[in-house]
Amino acid sequence: MRVISGKCKGKSLQAVPGMTTRPTTDKVKEAMFNMIGPYFSGGLGLDLFGGSGGLGIEALSRGLDRVIFVDHDAKAVQTIKKNVAACRLTDQAEIYRNDAERALKAIIKRGLTFRLIFLDPPYKNKQLEALIAIIDAHQLLQKDGFIVAEHGVEVELPKQIGRLTKVKDETYGVTAVSIFAYVEEEE
């Protein structure tokens, strides 16, 4: 695993020890960023199932100002801290050990909005639709932002969740990526 592009290009990233996480492959990561970027001029990101931190670190490398990383697993949180430090991005990262729903409640209290939100839960975890609904209900995504949801190919997310529309979806082997955004209605 490595950072693919931007100011940290080529930096190696450690994987979370054990079998509890499934890192996003470089091929899938590159495809994701080609769908939504590939580069950014600032903004705040949220990596809600941080794992090794690879998605959020890639977003920082490609121009986001700051990323909040969340994972419920202690080993994952330690790995994110190591990877962020290795890429010299510590001052651009907030890293928390928490579950996704409690983390969203804390974010709602802080009144934050995001340009980019990564949702990459364990494939057996079926909470993507509910999390996207919470993000929409509390307007956590900026009007020009994207939610990047990574999931198993057997999961078919609806075209519309609240006011958010699935604008792209691609399949890469057993992995699928769905991109949600606010779409202005044509007059």
Q: Is 117 helix (H, G, I), strand (E, B) or coil?
A: strand
Contact of 140 with 118, CB cutoff 8 Å: no
Distance CA 148, CA 153 (A): 15
pLDDT at 122: 78
- pLDDT single digits (tens) 98-146: 999 999 999 999 999 999 999 998 767 678 999 999 999 999 999 999 9
Residue with tokens 């907030």: 94
- Indicate the pairing of strand 44-47 with strand 175-182: unpaired
Provide the whole-model pTM: 0.94
Give every CB contact of residue 118 below 8 A, 6+ residues apart in sequence: 45, 46, 47, 48, 49, 55, 56, 59, 148, 150
The domains found in the chain, sorted by start residue, are 26-159+173-182 (3.40.50.150)
pLDDT at 23: 74
Is the pLDDT score of 17 beyond 90?
A: no
- pLDDT single digits (tens) 21-44: 777 888 889 999 999 988 999 999
Contact of 164 with 134, CB cutoff 8 Å: no
* Mean predicted lDDT score pLDDT of the chain: 92
Indicate if the alpha-carbon torsion angle 181, 59, 100, 53 is positive or negative: positive
